[in-house]
Amino acid sequence: MIRYSLRCENTHEFEGWFSESADFDRQVASGFLTCPVCNSASISKLLMAPSVSTARKKDEMQTLAMDTMRRDVFQKLKEAVATIKANSEDVGTRFPEEARKIHYGESDARGIIGQTTMDEAQALLEEGIEIAALPVLPDDVN
């Protein structure tokens, strides 16, 4: 749709929406387009500044979209971490030992969370024990 600022012969200004530029010309020629104030059919287009999409506008829109997307992603990540914590046993610093017991069938299978060193985490992975680090997230993401 194209929006034109219009003026009648009696200087009443109004706007009109048209499907294409030729649509305005057809409506004026047929007398279909009239002033909503005085009903004059002598209508002309006013000069209008084009709506230009600048690089700055595009950057602002992209930044806004990225900020919104980032907030959504962080919110979903926070929800996932909260779900994991709510459904797991916190074994603290005993994590490597408990993970091995579960892996080797010495303890019942269950979800566990806890702390370990990078070296111990690497050793667990080398043994074929699947582990993953939970991210520490800020409470408020802007």
Q: What is the pLDDT of residues 4-21, one digit of tens each?
A: 999 999 999 999 988 888
C-alpha 92/C-alpha 53 separation (Å) is: 55
What's 70's DSSP letter? H
Q: 24 by DSSP, 3-state: which?
A: helix
- Answer yes or no: are the C-beta atoms of 112 and 98 closer than 8 Å: yes
Q: What is the model's pLDDT at position 140?
A: 55
Residues 134-140: what's their mean pLDDT?
Answer: 75
Alpha-carbon distance values, 111 to 91, 103, 124, 130 (Å): 10, 11, 16, 12
C-alpha 80/C-alpha 85 separation (Å) is: 9
pLDDT confidence band for 51 (50 / 70 / 90): low
pLDDT tops 90 at residue 92: yes
